[in-house]
Structure 1
Amino acid sequence: MSNTRPNLVYIFADQWRRQAVGFMKEDPVITPNMDKFAEESLVFDNCISCFPLCSPHRASLLTGKYPLSTGFFTNCKIGCDVRLKEEEICIGDVTKAAGYDTAYIGKWHLDLPEMNLTDNPVSGARNWDAYTEPGPKRHGFDYWYSYGTFDEHLTPHYWMDTPEMIKVNQWSVEHETDMAIDYMKNHDKDKPFTLFLSWNPPHSPYDQVPEKYKRLYEGRDIPLRENFSLEKSVVGVGDPFEGDYVKALENTLNYYAAVSGIDENFGRILEELKRLGLEENTIVILSSDHGDMMVSHGLTSKNIWYEESIGVPFMVRMPNKIKVGRTDALFASPDIMPTLLGFMGLDIPNTVEGMDLSGILTGIKAEEQNSVYICSCPGSKPLLEKYKKLGYSPEQYGWRGVRTKRFTYVVNKGYIPEENKLERYIYDNEKDPYQKSPIMISNIEDNIVAKELEGELKGWLEKLKDPFTI
C-alpha cells in the first residue's frame, strides 16, 4: 500500500488548561515550541472539554459520542463499573480498518481497575490502575505502551502485550516521547500511521517534575490569575483548595514547570517528524483532556464549569493543507473524532454524535454550532452508595450547561438529592472574562438571555436523552 493518506499524531496532556501556554498571554508560562507551532497551526480558541474529567473526555475523544452516551458519568475507578465497552467504535478502530498502523502510548484510563475484580492482579496494577490486554478493549491500537492511571510521574510504569509490568526511572513525559520517536522511526514505511500520545503531567502531584524545568521559574515574579482566591466561591461544587498562599504559588510554579517540560518534549516530536521527512504529510494535534482550576475561585482540580476547567488548548497543523490562524468556532470533545476523520477522508461511523467541522480546517465555510453542551455528575463512592439506597441515578444530578461564544449558562442540582437544589447561573465571558460576577437567575422569564440559553440546554438534554431534568 502506498502511503498517500496523512499520518495522524494526536498528543494530549492531562489537566492542562487552555490559559497555560505562552502565546495565549494569560498564564506566564514559558513555551517557545508551542508558541512557534501555534503560528504554523489553526488554533481553536473555543475548544471545550464537555465533561472536564479524565475518563469521560477520553471516551468522548475516541468515540465521537457524548460521555453519558458511552456510560461515562465519572472516572474509571475502584467501586464503579465504568469502562470503554468493546462494542464502541473508536478512531483507532476506524483508522486501522482503513489500513493505518496504529499506536497508543501513555495514559489510557478507559478500562476497569483490575482491583475491582481481584485484590492481587497478576499485572501488579493497584488502585485505579489497569493492564488492558490485547484485543477489542484496545480499540484498534496495535502498538501498545500504556497503563490505566498512575500518578508517579518520575517513576512511571507501562504494559505492552503481557501482564509483565515495565518499570522506568525517567520522567514520564520524556520517556513516552522517546517511545513515540522510536515508533515513528520504525513503523511500516509503506503504511500511514495513527499515533496517540497521552502525557499525564501537568496533572498532580505537581512537584513531580524535573528540577531543570523548575529552575526556569526561579527568581521570577509570577502573578496569579485575577480570579485567584483562597476562599471557595459560593458558586459551584468544585474541590476547595486546602492550603495557604505559599502552597498555592508553589503548586502553580510547578504546574508551569511541567508545561515547560511538555513544551520541550513536544519540540522533540516536531523535530523528529521533520528529520524523518514526515512533516508535510502528518496532521499534528496538541491538546489536553481538561483544565485545572489552580486556585481560581478558591478551587483546585477540575470537574467544574469555569473556563479554567472546561477550556482546553487545541492546535492542529498540516503544512499547506490546514488553514493557519485562529478560529472562535465552538468545538467540543465529541467533535474531535468526526472532524479528523472527515479531514482524512475516512468514513465517520453512524454512532458518532459530534459534529464534523473539517471544513474549518481547510478554510471552507462550515456550519457552526450555536452552543456546546457541558456536564458533570456525582461520582464519589459514598455518594454512589447513597444514590443506590435512595433509588436515584447519579446521571439525574450534578450540573448541566451550555457554552456559547459569549456566555456560559449552568443549571446546578448539586450532588446531594436531599438538598433539592436548583440553581441557575449566567456568566458573560465577554464582559467578565474571569467569571467573577455570575448572574443568579431566580425567574427565567425575567431574563431574555437566560430564557434563550435554557432553551438551548433543553434541546441538548432532549437530543442526548440525558435524564437530568429542569
Structure 2
Amino acid sequence: MAKTPNLLFIVADQFRAMCVELGGDAVSTPFLDAMASDGVSLANAVSNYPVCSPHRAMMMSGQYPSFNGVTYNVNSETAEWGVGLRPDAPSWAGVLRDAGYNTGYIGKWHLEAPVSEDAIHGRGPLEDGRYWDAYSPLDRRHGFDFWYSYGCCDDHLSPHYWTGDAARHQRVDVTGWSAAHETDMAIDFLHRAAGANRAPFALAVSWNPPHQPFDQLPDGHDASYAAMSPAELLTRPNVELDSTIGREAATIAPLYYAAVSAIDTQVGRLMQTLDELNLTADTLVIFTSDHGQQMGSHELLYKNVPFEESMRIPFILKWPGKLRRDPAMAGSVGLCSVDIAPTLLGLLGYGGQVPSEMQGADVSGALLQGGTNDAGQDAPPSYSALYFYYPRDETEHHVRGLRTATDKFIARFNERDGLSTTLYDLAVDPFELVSVSDPERIRIHAVALQTKLAHASQTWPGEAALAALAEGR
C-alpha cells in the first residue's frame, strides 16, 4: 500500500513572483530554481488581497474575507472590529489532523487579534500606539498541534516565539536571524517525524523576511547586489528610476535581494534534510508567499494594491513522480488565495473531505499525474481571481477586481466619487502601462466581475453602480 504523503508548506512574507522567474528580478535563487526545475512553478498564482493577514486567512480557510473574518491586517486598531481568523473557520490543517497527520506551524502567524495583554507580553506598541504581535490560545490554532510561532513582529535579528502550551507570559526569546532559527526548528521537527511507523506530517514554515526592515540581514549575506546600478536592480519598465520613489527603491533593492537569497539558502537546507532523511519521495513541498512588493513599480514601494508586482506570488511545487510537469499547464492553470486550502487537500488525497464552507477551487486535478483528483475533478474550465480592498475610512475607496490570465479589471467606489474602473490587457501590456478605454470591453468585464462576486456570495457598496455599468446604463 502506498505511503500516506507528507506536506512541507513554506511561506516567505512579501516574496514577489518576479524573484523566481526567468527574465525577472536580478536575484540569485539556485535552490528554488532547482525546486522549480524538478517540479512545477505556476505562472498565474495570485493573492486575492495582497497584504499579510487577509491572504493568510484565505490561505488557511479557503474562505473570502467576509466569511473568515479577516478584512484588514490584524493589529490592535482593527481588533476592535473583530478582525482575526474566526475560531470556527475551516482549515486545511484541521482536516489533515483529523485524518491522523502530525501537524506543525513554525514562524509568523498574524491571524490572531491582539488583546491588551499582548501589548505587555508581545512586541509591544509601535510609535503610532498600535500593537501587532499576539499570542494564539491553544483553542485558536486551527488544527496545528506543534506550535512554535508568534503573531507579527518585525525584529528579524531578535525574534520571539510562543511554543506548545506555554502561557502568554512565557515566550521564548532568540538572538539570530529569524528565518535561519525557524529553519533549525523545522529541521528538528522533520527529524522527529522521520522515525519508523510515525504518522504522516504536515508542517507549515512561515518566514517573515524578505519583509522589511530590509537592513536586518543575517551574517554573511550576499552583499554583491550593492555594486549593481539602479537599472540593473530594477529592470521593470514601470519603474521611474529618476523619481524619488525610484531612487528609494534602488536603495531597498540590494537589501531585499540579499534577504531573498538568504531565504533561498534556507529552502536548500530543508530540501537537503528531506533527502538525508529519505523523505523526499513521500513529501509534497510547496513554496509560496502571501503577496509581493512594488519596489518602485507604478511609483509605489510596498503592497496592498492591484498591480502584478503585489498580486502575483510564487507557487512552486515539488513531489517526485506525482506532478504533471507540463509547461503549458504550468503557464495556464491559475490559483489564488482561496484555492490554496482545497488544492492542498486535493493534492494529498483528501479532495473528497474539503469542508463545504471552503469557497476556493481545488485545482489539484490539473497538477497531479493522471488528470483528476480523488474527488474526480480536473482543473476549472477557466481561471479568474477576485481582488479585494476594504477601506479604513470614508476617504478611501471600496475596491473589487477580477484578474484572469489575460486581463485585469479593477472597480473603485465610494459615495463621494462614485464608480471608476481600470482595465489592463495583460497579454499585450504585462506591465500595466496603458488602461484600455474601449467601453464595450469595459462593460463585458463589469459583467464578469459582477458574476464572480455573486457566485462568491459577495456584496459591496459599489454593487448598484457596477450593475449599471454592466447593463450599459
TM-score range, shorter chain: 0.7 to 0.9
Q: How many Å separate the matches in 2 of 1:438 and 1:156?
A: 43
**Counterpart contact for 1:357–1:368, Cα < 8 Å:** no
Tell whether 2:434 aligns with 1:437.
yes
**Residue 423 of structure 2: aligned partner:** 426
In the TM superposition, 1:84-103 aligns within 5 A as: 84-103=85-104
Establish whether residue 143 from structure 1 lines up as the match of residue 156 from structure 2.
no
- How big is the shift at 1:466? 2.2
Give per-residue Cα distances to partners, 1:74-128, cap 9 Å, x unaligned.
11111222011111111111110000000000000000112xx347545565511
In structure 1, the residue matched to 2:471 is none
Q: How does 1:255-270 map to 2 (within 5 A)?
A: 255-270=256-271
Q: Determine if contact 2:387/2:400 at 8 Å carries over to the other structure.
A: yes
CA distance in 2: counterparts of 1:46 and 1:14, whole angstroms: 18
Give the CA deviation at 1:59.
Answer: 0.7
Is the Cα contact below 8 Å between 1:125 and 1:131 reproduced in 2? no
From the superposition, tell whether residues 178 and 467 of structure 1 become closer, same or farther in structure 2 (CA, over 3 Å).
same
**Residue 6 of structure 2 contacts residue 201 of structure 2 at CA under 8 Å; is this kept in 1?**
yes
Structure 2 residue 55 is matched with structure 1 residue 52: no
Distance across 1 between alignment mates of 2:299 and 2:241: 5
Over residues 400-421 of structure 1, what are the superposed CA-to-partner deviations in whole Å (9 max), with x where a residue is unaligned?
11011111011012xxx45324
Equivalent-residue separation in structure 2 for 1:180 and 1:315 (angstroms): 19
CA contact (8 A) 1:329 1:368 kept: no
How far apart, CA to CA, are the structure 2 residues paired with 1:175 and 1:367?
Answer: 39
Amino acid aligned to 1:334: V
1:35-434 counterparts in 2 under 5 A?
35-80=33-78, 81-114=82-115, 117-118=116-117, 120-122=119-121, 126=125, 127-135=131-139, 137-160=140-163, 161-162=165-166, 163=168, 164-187=170-193, 189=195, 190-221=198-229, 222-224=232-234, 225-229=236-240, 243=244, 245-326=246-327, 327=330, 328-346=332-350, 347-363=353-369, 364=371, 366-379=379-392, 383=393, 397-413=397-413, 417=414, 419-434=416-431
Secondary structure of 2:220 counterpart: helix
Question: Normalising by the residue count of structure 2, what TM-score does the alignment of the two structures yield?
Answer: 0.87
Return the offset for 1:433.
1.2
1:27 is aligned to 25
Gapped runs of 5+ residues in structure 2?
126-130, 372-377, 467-473
CA distance in 1, matches of 2:103, 2:2: 14
User: Which residue is equivalent to 2:375?
Assistant: none
Q: What's the offset of the Cα at 1:231?
A: 9.1
- Cα shift readout 1:129-148 (whole Å, capped 9, x = no counterpart): 0011222x001111100000
SS at match of 1:290: coil
> Amino acid of the residue matched to residue 195 of structure 1?
L
Is the contact made by 1:423 and 1:440 (CA closer than 8 Å) also made in structure 2?
A: no
Q: Unaligned 5+ residue runs, structure 1?
A: 233-242, 388-393
RMSD: 2.1
1:300 match: secondary structure:
coil
Deviations 1:369-393 (A, max 9, x none): 34211111113xxx2xx69xxxxxx
Number of aligned residue pairs:
434
Counterpart of 1:19 in structure 2: which amino acid? M
Aligned 8 A contact 2:10 2:286 in 1: yes
Aligned-partner residue type, residue 39 of structure 2: S
